[in-house]
Structure 1
Amino acid sequence: MPPATPSPDLVLALLADARLPVGAHTQSAGLEPAVVHGGLTAADVPAFLRGRLATVVAVEAGTAVVARHRSLAGGDLAEVEEAWAARTPSQALRNSSRTLGRGYLRLAQRLWPLAPALAALPRTPARPVVLGVVAALAGLDAARLVRLCGHEDVAGVGAAVLKLAPCDPADTVAWTLAAHPAIEALVARTAGLTAPEEIPATGAPRVELQSLQHARTPRRLFHA
């Protein structure tokens, strides 16, 4: 007997929980590359977060929203994945996202074992594409989905900074709250997207370069 369909709020809480065992703990949301290869310190983290929300997370959130829309309409998700890949030129970041996507897909298949949308995905889909399909299956609206993408990135940085550039843990909570206006701006910017060509193409050359440097680093705490 398949498991009962969880409520949208429960799915949102589950996906936003750092204890979710799908591999997010192996990522630093770009913080370790920035610390190791860019000299970033704890004092720089708030600006780092704002930069990611305006660039990397905008691409991720836009991709997830369009994937949700396409999934609800029964459309092809391959174009969404291609649009995301075109906006993520670093092979290291694409690999990292697809590793996470595989974990999210495995979890989703346990919750919705008969969902055709999940069966149609490749074995290693991009994380935001899987999140979009999950949002469609769970009844999450686009605004909640964007907030999830924003919170997950900010929380990932907050968890990683305590290992990489130790600071007061209360500071990471303050940074999360301070990022709220930027996340809401991202909601306004991306929640209404419906087509792959509308996904933001906000480049982050430094993040991309540091990810490639990090992929060649033999000693590291996080994959990316």
Structure 2
Amino acid sequence: MLALLLADARLPVAGHTQSAGLEPALAAGPVDVPAYVALRLRTVTRTEAATAVVARASVLAGEPLEEVQDAWAARTPSAAMRRTSRVMGRALVRLAPRVVPAYPDWPTLPAEPARPVVLGMLAALGGLDAAATARVVGYDDVQTVVAAALKLTPLDPAEATGWVVGAFAALAGLVDDVADLLHPHEIPARNAPVIEDHAERHAHTTRRLFSA
């Protein structure tokens, strides 16, 4: 049940304020949304999912999370993307007492914890396995892009739902690739320079619907 809750777009953790970079991408030109979703699953989302999986393993092993946070930061070149992740991480920390009964026993988090680090911690305390942890991160990214597309473009919701279903195979591949990771140095560095450039430009514009 925790996995369903964490993957729910209505969860009040600022996810509704994000487009996963789709808004600046559309501002730069036409976007094939399913291809954009697939690109993210191969790159930045893979890094995020792996970070959450490794953070979960670190909590279960009683290891500090600072090294996981540092590994994530080193693999996230965009300052704007790091900042957004930390804002969402703070929102998840605030929500934690409501969703995880083991909240009082959680380990010490790094300063300004990134969203996947907090998600990994919640997964460990809430009893999610590694595959479910990765799946939550991947699915959340897919639905964030598609939900933003519905707000930013003239689009049939049925077509948008088809895009989500169409991403399931790539999402399953992501889960298979990262679910066995245990250590920070194993987190993949899958950069997407175009997405990162869009994020940096978007951070400095005042005419936008989404914060990122």
TM over 0.5: same fold?
Answer: yes
* 1:222 aligned counterpart, secondary structure: coil
Match of 1:22 among 8, 13, 18: 13
Aligned to 1:40: 30
- Structure 1 residue 48, shift from structure 2 partner: 0.3
SS of residue matched to 2:104? coil
SS of residue in 2 equivalent to 1:181: helix
CA distance in 1, matches of 2:29, 2:133: 32
Q: 1:140-182: per-residue Cα shift (whole Å, max 9, x none)?
A: 0011111111110010011100111121011111011110110
Identity %: 55
| Deviation for aligned residue 1:113 | 3.7
Deviation digits for residues 92-147 of structure 1, max 9, x if unmatched?
00000000000111111343441231xx1145310000000000001100111111
* CA distance in 2 between partners of 1:132 and 1:146 (Å): 9
> Does the residue aligned with 1:203 lie in a helix, a strand or coil?
coil
Give the Cα–Cα distance (whole angstroms) in 2 for the partners of residues 114 and 96 of structure 1: 26
Greater mean alpha carbon deviation, residues 173-182 or residues 102-111: 102-111
Aligned to 1:50: 38
Please list every run of 5 or more consecutive structure 2 residues that lacks an aligned counterpart in the other structure.
Answer: none
1:47-80: CA deviation from partner (whole Å, max 9, x where unpaired): 0000000001100000000000000011010000
Q: Distance in 2 between matches of 1:223 and 1:40?
A: 20
Q: For 1:58 and 1:19, how far apart are their aligned partners in 2?
A: 23
Counterpart residue identity of residue 19, structure 1 = R
The question of whether the paired residues in 1 share the 8 Å contact of 2:25 and 2:198 is answered with yes
The answer to whether structure 1 residue 159 and structure 2 residue 150 are counterparts is: no
Number of residue equivalences: 210
Q: Aligned pair 1:213/2:201, yes or no?
A: yes
The one-letter code of the counterpart of 1:114 is P
Corresponding residue of 1:68: 56
| Residue in structure 2 matched with residue 7 of structure 1 by the alignment | none
Distance of 2:87 and 2:128 partners within structure 1: 23
Inter-partner Cα distance in structure 2 for 1:195 and 1:122 = 17
Q: Is the 8 A contact 1:100 1:126 kept in 2?
A: yes
Letter in 2 for 1:34: A
SS, match of residue 63 in structure 2: coil
Do structure 1's residue 197 and structure 2's residue 188 form an aligned pair? no
Cα RMSD between the aligned structures?
1.1
Tell me the residue number matched to 2:165.
Answer: 177
CA distance in 2, matches of 1:19, 1:166: 22
TM-score by length of 2: 0.96
User: Structure 2 CA distance, aligned partners of 1:201 and 1:26?
Assistant: 26
Distance between the aligned counterparts of 2:199 and 2:72, measured in 1? 17
